[in-house]
Amino acid sequence: MKKFKQKLFGNGNKGGNPGGPRNLVLAVLFFVLCLALLTKLGDLTKGVTQIPYSKFIEQVEQNKVKSVRVDGAEISGEFKDGAHFVTVIVETPTNWELLKKHNVEINVEEPANSMSFWYIMFLVMLLTTVVPGLIWYFTQKSKNGSGGGAGGIFSMGKSRAKLFMPSTIKDNFNSVAGAQEAKEELYDVVDFLRYPAKYQRLGAKISRGVLLIGEPGNGKTLLARAVAGEANCPFFSISGSDFIEVFVGVGAARVRDLFEQARKKAPCIIFIDEIDAVGRHRGSGMGGGHDEREQTLNQLLTEMDGFETTKDPVIVIAATNRPDVLDKALLRPGRFDRRVEVPYPDLKSREQILKLHAAKVKMSPEVDLQKIARGTPGFSGADLANLINEAALIASKTDQTDINLNDLEEARDKVTLGKENKSIILTENDRKITAVHEAGHALVALLLPEVSDPLHKVTIIPRGRALGVTHSLPVGEKHNATKQEFLAKVAMCLGGRVAEQIVFNDLTTGAYSDFRTATEIVRNMVCLYGMSEKLGNVIYGRRNHGEFEFSEKTAELIDAEVLVIMDQCLAHANQLITANRDKLDLLSQALLEKETLYAAEIYELLGITPREDLRFNI
């Protein structure tokens, strides 16, 4: 009896049929309706005899007919002995006279209000075939969790994770360019999924939870899919926000359903993207410890602890760019105890990523992808993919047969600075000011060998909000910076303002972004890097609530020190440009004529010998 009740009503949150009570009510209603129609049909057909028209006339003339019911050409009636009959007549005036003469009770019904035998038969067939089919269809739909309306309500506790079987996963570690250290960390998981006995024979337990940490676009999701592809196992993918719903208990039910499905497919991988949506510190919600998100997190913690009871492993890989907001219980050993950093790609990784995406387009063989990689520091994998796509779009617009270096340069400028602004029409005076300003930046960069990122190109073509840009291109990947490099970079930033003062003896607003960059560099030198003799090797940061960690007197000393360093760099830039005024005029005039100059052209124009580390890279 108990099993019958569970089968009929379901098991509630334990994976039973949530539509059991509803289906029972529908079945009872359907049965009662069919019974009523069949009873009506029985009443209508019980004792009814089909007689010919001639016999009907004969029975009327013999006074054996008690009453008739006229329904168009059909007459049904009752004999005086209680028997029922039905016949079809031809309507003539003599028929009515005959019935009236023999005192037959006549009842006439409207055809629209009558219920004929065949009409009832049609309804019975409809209810016994179509209606049960519709009930079965919507029941199956609600079980599968698809569709909206009532079906969606009854399937709300079902997991929304997408299941990818091994045959559909084409990614592997070869699909992921760069991220070598992350792949090495994840290979342990792959090896465990492939050969669990190798670890179990020594009593080792592999991490069942792996947390991928990195900024958006660096390939966390791709790495998780690559693990599933390498291990050749099923892959469940879901976002952290897919667990949360306005109804209490739905998130926890979805977590239970997800892990129940995963255990049936084990060994497998569950990937939870943006886990910080559900895994934040408990106690921070509006409902204290009882809000929906925290109940979902509690269920997730419970399910991850229950892995040891399963024979085959279920590995959970989660991704986030906010590990600082995750609950400590998630990060303890036994849950997400293995943390894999997925950083921005370095120079070598950027080159590999560019080659991977360049293989999918028609790239000119003359293109040096290493040079493009050098010019894209701070780009994520997604940014580099977008760079190749933008270059392909630019080349397609001009009907080129392949993508060349100029297309990639244009795409990089578009991504970093914005599209070339052709709607801005500069006056001749504005063009001169912009040319002198950018020439000042470039000249200081050429005259200061301490500048870590050497000059690449200078342009006075407006892009985005900038009227002109001086590009620097890193020689290689740098992980440290010196005080002299910072001071040289600040002097380069201030070179534009100095050049304007020397040539026009006036000030413009064009140096705003330069001042902002230079001030940020100098303030970091003083407050964070201990590069101030007066303030010493102390970090002067901010508290979490925006309050300074130092006194007002110290703040005044910081402001004074920042101003001193800025003035020193400004004087250094002024000295360099004044001593090389002829080179400034020559470079600004060439920019007015050509609008864009590359480093090799500038070195040749000014007669300056390139730096040793640039002679083979220009």
Look up tokens 């168009």; give the residue: 72
359: number of Cβ within 10 Å = 9
DSSP 124: H
- Token pair for residue 313? 């492993």
CA dist., res. 526 & res. 115, Å (int):
97
CA distances (Å), origin 300, targets 14, 209, 324, 329 = 16, 12, 19, 10
CA dist., res. 146 & res. 51, Å (int):
56
Look up tokens 């003359």; give the residue: 366
DSSP 364: -
CA dist., res. 177 & res. 232, Å (int):
20
Do you know the residue count of the chain? 618
- Token pair for residue 12? 């509630």
CA dist., res. 176 & res. 349, Å (int):
10
Q: Any catalytic annotation for residue 438?
A: yes
Look up tokens 């929304």; give the residue: 160
DSSP 122: H
Which residue in 230, 292, 438, 500 is the catalytic one? 438
CA 201 to mean position of chain CA atoms = 41
CB 293, CB 281: distance < 8 Å: no
CA dist., res. 577 & res. 442, Å (int):
10
DSSP 139-174: HHHHHTT-SSHHHHHHTTTS--PEEE-GGG----GG
Q: How many separate helices (H) and strands (E) can be counted in the chain?
A: 22, 14
In sequence order, the 6+-apart residues with CB closer than 8 A to the CB of 156 are: 245, 247, 250, 253
Give catalytic residues, as residue numbers.
438
